[in-house]
Amino acid sequence: MSLPNSSVGVFDARTRFFELLERIEAGEEVTIMRHGVAVARLVPPAKPAAVKSTTKERAVAVPMPSLAMTRGWPELALS
């Protein structure tokens, strides 16, 4: 549910910016006016849609080959 749209002038928007952010976080839309003309509209961000995953995601540990083994020095490789 969104609150009603309100409008403020540019000067008021600059001086009360953090108050406007709180109102926007609460769901209100704010229109910024310059000389009676709307120049910007501040709205809360859209909520991201839930993403369904068809597979379970998990971290997979992949063993790294020893540098000694990749260089052909098996006698230096630690087990």
Instruction: Please tell me the predicted confidence (pLDDT) of residue 49.
Output: 67
Domain count, the chain: 1
Domain with 27 in it: 6-42
Say which residue, 47 or 77, is predicted with more confidence.
47
> What was the pLDDT predicted at 20?
94
Whichever domain contains 32, its CATH number is: 3.40.1620.10
- Determine the residue type at 12: D
* 27 belongs to a structural domain: yes
| 67, part of any domain | no
pLDDT tens-digit series, residues 8-64 = 999 999 999 999 999 999 999 999 999 999 999 999 988 776 666 666 666 666 666
Q: Say which residues have a Cβ less than 8 Å from residue 30's Cβ, sequence separation at least 6.
A: 5, 6, 7, 8, 13, 20, 23, 24, 41, 42
Tokens of 28: 């209100």
Two tokens, residue 22: 């709180």
User: What does the pLDDT read at residue 2?
Assistant: 46
Question: Given this model, what pLDDT does residue 70 score?
Answer: 60
